[in-house]
Amino acid sequence: MNKEIPYKIYLEEHEMPKEWYNVRADMKNKPAPILNPATLKPVTVEELSPVFCEELARQELDDTTALFEIPKEIRDFYKMYRPSPLVRAYCLEKKLDTPAHIYYKFEGNNTSGSHKLNSAIAQAYYAKQQGLKGVTTETGAGQWGTALSMACSYFDLDCRVYMVKVSYEQKPFRREVMRTYGANVTPSPSMTTEIGKKINEEFPGTTGSLGCAISEAVEAATSCEGYRYVLGSVLSQVLLHQSIIGLETKAALDKYGIKADMIIGCAGGGSNLGGLISPFVGEMLRGEADYEIVAVEPASCPSLTRGKYAYDFCDTGKVCPLSKMYTLGSGFMPSANHAGGLRYHGMSSIVSQLYDDGIISARSVGQTEVFDAAQQFAKVEGILPAPESSHAIRVAIDEALKCKETGEAKNIVFGLTGTGYFDMVAYQKFNDGDMADYIPTDEELERSLSNLPKVD
């Protein structure tokens, strides 16, 4: 127990988890099933298979199997950038003059710049296994698109990314990383799909939206022989793959005899948070341990803290299955919030159920205070964090400062999901003092929540 804790705890390669953990297996209250939008009945693997790879459809619907073996090919790929370090934030602790011990699991040390690669490589693998030619997806900020491009390039799969037009134009570098990995990147709405043509006709000059890009990607997958659609967050299969984050975190803590008191993660669609907390929540559900778990979301898109727990569409185009989740309504348009990955109107059904059951808590934070935390962190810890990740940093710093008041030496663990190299436009706004905070009014939320689909 008195082993000196290094700045970076790296597991050995042989200590890397060989199985993903499916937290649903230990949940007494299972997440509500996803529904076929046509029949309003729970979807089957057969119904999902024209859109998703079969094995992924199976993983999506399996809420009883606790452990899934990670195929060797995926583990070999993981070894290029995993195990990722669990970092003891000695310098931040010193700067804050806090008795708290702060740890962060850093997922940014790979070219996609975030944890998204953990699921991208799994999804590409199963597509390859199924003998597919390629996959389609949408991307907004571009982290997911980059991760999928890397994964497809590794398995020699065609990768077609529909990138929201405004991002395609404003983030040319993200687009070029994807192209360097051989992906075909199309600004959405495009003239290559029926839905794209229709939208371009109806709204000439539109710069697109995530909802539209999803619809185009789904159409491209289902209308093209040998293609399937893949998605980087929200889905339970994605949380399954992302459990590698939490499993490694727990293994590293256990190795040094550290018991976490608090676990903090940013939450957009829930992929990072769900992955990080899964094994810890599992212990809680089995009555083996207790943790304080905090989901941090932007005040501009507060699905957990101000949304409604109800069935809703996963996409603006309403082509995907219905999911019961904390939602702001599928028509909710978040303001120009720079934390691109946290702009989703809904939340993973697993995270939603855990929150509804009181197993995890949630907080919302404003953008300016988030960038202030990001800058503090960057200056002493040497990593320029992604805006998304910085939501977790904000709460970790707040909690560490509370410990300074109370004198508690809490062990605070947070997820640092990625780096901010492609988010310098946002940093520039912050540096120039031009960053605005935006909080939706109650009226806005009421309006966007008034159109939830009727499900019993």
Positions that interact with a copy of itself (CB under 8 A): 6-8, 10, 12-13, 76-77, 79-81, 87, 90-91, 109-111, 113, 117, 150, 153-154, 172-173, 176-177, 179-182, 375, 378-384, 419, 421-422, 424-425, 427-428, 430-431
Q: Which is nearer to a copy of itself, 195 or 253 (CB)?
A: 253
Cβ of residue 288: shortest distance to a copy of itself, in angstroms?
31
**DSSP for residue 346:** S
Q: Which is nearer to a copy of itself, 13 or 169 (CB)?
A: 13
Cβ of residue 4: shortest distance to a copy of itself, in angstroms?
9
> Of 150, 154, 16, which is closest to residue 82 (Cα–Cα)?
16
d(CA 111, CA 414): 21
**How much is the CA Rg of the chain, to the nearest whole Å?**
21
Cβ of residue 94: shortest distance to a copy of itself, in angstroms?
10
Cβ of residue 340: shortest distance to a copy of itself, in angstroms?
16
Rounded to the nearest angstrom, the gap between the alpha carbon of residue 116 and the centroid of all alpha carbons in its chain is: 7
Cβ of residue 421: shortest distance to a copy of itself, in angstroms?
4
Cβ of residue 174: shortest distance to a copy of itself, in angstroms?
8
Q: Which is nearer to a copy of itself, 105 or 306 (CB)?
A: 105
> Of 241, 232, 298, which is closest to residue 267 (Cα–Cα)?
298
- Do 301 and 17 contact (CB within 8 A), yes or no? no
Q: Which is nearer to a copy of itself, 177 or 319 (CB)?
A: 177
d(CA 42, CA 31): 12
131 in helix, strand or coil? coil
> Of 152, 132, 363, which is closest to residue 227 (Cα–Cα)?
132
Side chain identity at residue 28, one-letter code: K
Q: Which is nearer to a copy of itself, 80 or 336 (CB)?
A: 80
Q: Which is nearer to a copy of itself, 24 or 171 (CB)?
A: 171
Q: Which is nearer to a copy of itself, 80 or 455 (CB)?
A: 80
d(CA 4, CA 104): 17
Here the tokens at position 267 are 């939450």
Cβ of residue 111: shortest distance to a copy of itself, in angstroms?
4
Rounded to the nearest angstrom, the gap between the alpha carbon of residue 122 and the centroid of all alpha carbons in its chain is: 15
Q: Is 223 exposed, middle or buried (0-12, 13-18, 19+ CB in 10 A)?
A: exposed
Cβ of residue 15: shortest distance to a copy of itself, in angstroms?
11
Cβ of residue 84: shortest distance to a copy of itself, in angstroms?
11
Each as own residue / partner, the long-range contacts of residues 376-380 (CB below 8 Å, 24 or more positions apart, any chain) are 376/92, 376/95, 377/92, 379/95, 380/91, 380/92, 380/94, 380/95
Q: Which is nearer to a copy of itself, 52 or 154 (CB)?
A: 154
Q: Which is nearer to a copy of itself, 117 or 392 (CB)?
A: 117
Residue by residue, what is the 3-state secondary structure of 261-304?
A: CEEEEECCCCHHHHHHHHHHHHHHHCCCCCCEEEEEEECCCCHH
Cβ of residue 2: shortest distance to a copy of itself, in angstroms?
16
Q: Which is nearer to a copy of itself, 154 or 162 (CB)?
A: 154
Cβ of residue 242: shortest distance to a copy of itself, in angstroms?
18
Q: Which residues does 387 contact at the CB level (< 8 Å), separation at least 6?
A: 338, 339, 340, 342, 367, 370, 371, 374, 420, 423, 426
Q: Which is nearer to a copy of itself, 12 or 288 (CB)?
A: 12
Residue count of the chain: 456
Q: How many CA atoms lie within 13 A of 119 on its CB side?
A: 29
